[in-house]
Amino acid sequence: MKSHDADVALDLATSLIAVAADNNLNVAKIIARFDELAASVNCATPQELVDNLFDGGRFTGSTVEYDDPRNSLINHVFDRRLGIPITLSVMAIEIGSRVGIQFVGIGMPGHFLCAPVQGSSESGYPTFYDPFHGSTPMSGAECRTLYERLTNLENWSDEFLRATSSRQIVIRILSNLKSIYLRRGDSAGIRTVMRLRTAIPELATGENKLFAKLVRSTN
């Protein structure tokens, strides 16, 4: 993550976040889990892929402990088969890439979705998925309904359904972890996630002073 414009490999980036949280882990072994899962998936279409991942008991949304930091750490998502919308979407993107089915992340405010690239057009993607709630395909109108239900806002924009870069996905995962650790008063977690965030150029300027302040307050 050296430049603002460079994209990142999600399997590598999420594995590095996991290792930062637990240095007993091994990046290569975590990445191998993506490979092993892809090898066990038998699918030829986006719908078959999401059915296999999110409708067959492999992975599901963590509705009871949504705020658990393990839901944002990919090793725990593998172990527990539980995640939040963004980490479950990472599963669809990374497993899809290994079986020849391209997915993109959709960073809708208040929630996170994914969409298959097949059939995309200038007006957006015709089909969306919300892995947190299963494998049912959604239209753009249904995404709007979900957004308004979750946020109680009426400020919808079709821009909410634009693809999100892998880099922005990683930043959003780190933002989630930062918020979780701050709410929990988890000093070790705060230190870990802030070190990662200060390594990202577009975040570093604003984060360095906050990191120093937080470190002082948690010593």
pLDDT tens per residue across all 219 residues of the chain: 333 345 789 999 999 999 999 999 999 999 999 999 999 999 999 999 999 999 977 999 999 999 999 999 999 999 999 999 999 999 999 999 999 999 999 999 999 999 999 754 444 688 999 999 999 999 999 999 999 999 999 999 999 999 999 999 999 999 999 999 999 999 999 999 999 998 888 888 777 666 666 655 555
Question: Tokens 């007006």, residue?
Answer: 123
Where are the domains positioned within the chain? 10-169
Which helix (H) or strand (E) is 218 found in, with range?
A: helix 201-218
Helices 85-98, 10-21: axis angle to 10 degrees equals 130
Q: What is the pLDDT of residue 197?
A: 92
Distance CA 36, CA 108 (A): 30
The pair of structure tokens assigned to 213 is 């302040």
